[in-house]
């Protein structure tokens, strides 16, 4: 079945089964490899993308549920990797292994788009469910606060 979706500001038509998760459309059909597969059950956050500005888990989001929504992946967050969250991530040396960072950055960017100066509690709530096996949660919170200022 053919589906037309808006990815990073571009309209793309893909032939896939209606129950195909967005994650696999991104990775296998559109060759956008920044969004990661982690758990496959929307628990770890590695696959987080923005759907109409809201952070969503792409591993459980069937392509058939996406009609006219605008989808943004890490590749579409900023052309040169200079989004305030990305710059703050570098400043605070957040990434260790780096696997979860795409999802972490996308969740943080969605938070800051809606909440300009989030409290620690708001940051923790928004980032809850984004698992970092390296445990850089303190650096993540610091980076979000820095991005909010910048």
pLDDT tens, 65-91?
998 999 999 999 998 999 999 999 999
The answer to whether the beta carbons of residues 47 and 73 sit under 8 Å apart is no
- Determine the average pLDDT of the residues in 50-76: 97
Q: Domains in the chain, please, with CATH?
A: 2-77 (3.10.20.30), 84-149 (1.10.150.120)
**pTM of this structure:** 0.95
- Determine the average pLDDT of the residues in 49-67: 97
The DSSP secondary-structure symbol of 23 reads H
């Amino acid at each position: 079945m053919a589906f037309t979706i808006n990815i990073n500001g571009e309209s793309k038509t893909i032939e896939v089964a209606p129950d195909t998760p967005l994650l696999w459309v991104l990775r296998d059909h559109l060759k956008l490899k920044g969004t990661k597969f982690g758990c496959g059950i929307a628990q770890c956050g590695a696959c987080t993308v923005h759907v109409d500005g809201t952070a969503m888990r792409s591993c459980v989001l069937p392509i058939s549920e996406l009609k006219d929504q605008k989808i943004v992946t890490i590749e579409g967050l900023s052309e040169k990797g200079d989004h305030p969250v990305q710059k703050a991530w570098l400043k605070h040396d957040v990434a260790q292994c780096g696997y979860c960072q795409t999802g972490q950055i996308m969740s943080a960017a969605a938070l800051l788009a809606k909440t300009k100066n989030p409290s620690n509690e708001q940051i923790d709530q928004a980032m809850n469910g984004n698992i970092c096996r390296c445990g850089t949660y303190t650096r993540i919170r610091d980076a979000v606060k820095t991005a909010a200022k910048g």
